[in-house]
Structure 1
Amino acid sequence: MIMIKGIGVDICDIRKLKGAIERNKNFLNRVFSEREIKYCKTKKNSIIHFAGRFAAKEAFIKAVSNKKIKLKEIETINDKSGRPDIRLTKVIKLNLKKKNANRINLSISHTDSTAVAVCIIL
């Protein structure tokens, strides 16, 4: 039987995130990896994709119950089929392994005004 080790959900207000990015020139580089920035900037409405990835990072932090994790330590990528996935630093991976957490399931969705992410750690 697979046991759930953690669940996290986050909702991101796209307008607020856009304001944070416009006010702070370093925001993107502080929160997102180069790969995430490049991916989002290739999209027609990049802010929606940044918001989804931001929500995914926050949902992961909630799922592992560790507020000490920095957002940039979590990278949201897409697998070969286009599904969102999470890439972590070695330290975070090791901590998850100690908790017998072997899999991370991630879902991201958005409207024009909000993005939501759910992260389940198994």
Structure 2
Amino acid sequence: MIVGVGIDVAEIDRFAAALERTPQLAERLFVTGELLLPGGERRGVASLAARFAAKEALAKALGAPRGLRWTDAEVVTEDSGQPVLLVRGTVAARATALGVRHWHVSLSHDAGVASAVVIAER
């Protein structure tokens, strides 16, 4: 049973400008594993914008409650290339309260826009 669905878009140039204006923003939004590619290089801004959109979509799927921490949701990429959500702390607590047992996430970026869809399933 679907508990919630969230969708979000992020304008990549606008997101890049926000990261440039506020250097600490990336560390407030993402855990280290999200900021770096498997080889240790810094992840590109389009990919980060899609991950940010996923976190926004996740919050919407959970009913957009106050108090969720950005770093309590992590988007990881499996070897197959599929994105997967890992949740802990405030996000895990809200998901547990709603009975969420499985996440579906899709990320995309094209034509200057990053997007994400998250489905929370019981």
Say which SS state the counterpart of residue 108 (structure 1) adopts.
Answer: strand
Counterpart of 1:59, as a letter, is: A
TM-score for both structures, normalised by structure 1: 0.88
Q: Deviations over 1:95-119 (max 9, x none)?
A: 3233221110000011140000000
Sort the Cα spacing of 1:39 and 1:112 in 2 relative to 1 into closer, same or farther, 3 A: farther
Q: Given that residues 48 and 112 in structure 1 are in contact (C-alpha distance below 8 angstroms), is that contact kept between their aligned partners in structure 2?
A: no
Sort the Cα spacing of 1:91 and 1:21 in 2 relative to 1 into closer, same or farther, 3 A: closer
Say which SS state the counterpart of residue 48 (structure 1) adopts.
Answer: helix
Question: What's the offset of the Cα at 1:81?
Answer: 1.4
Corresponding residue of 1:120: 119
Corresponding residue of 2:92: 93
Corresponding residue of 1:77: 76
Q: Deviations over 1:8-46 (max 9, x none)?
A: 000000011000011011011111101111129737x70
Q: Deviations over 1:44-71 (max 9, x none)?
A: x701111110000100001001232121
Counterpart of 1:52, as a letter, is: A
Corresponding residue of 1:10: 8
Q: Which has the higher strand share?
A: 2
Counterparts of 1:56 and 1:73, CA distance in 2:
13
Counterparts of 2:69 and 2:91, CA distance in 1:
11
Q: Indicate which of 46, 53, 56 corresponds to 1:55.
A: 53
Counterpart of 2:75, as a letter, is: T
Structure 1 residues 6-15 or 72-81, which shifts more?
72-81
Say which SS state the counterpart of residue 16 (structure 1) adopts.
Answer: helix
Structure 1 residues 31-40 or 88-97, which shifts more?
88-97
Unaligned runs of 5+ in 1: none
Count of matched residue positions in the alignment of Structure 1 and Structure 2: 119
TM-score for both structures, normalised by structure 2: 0.88
Unaligned runs of 5+ in 2: none
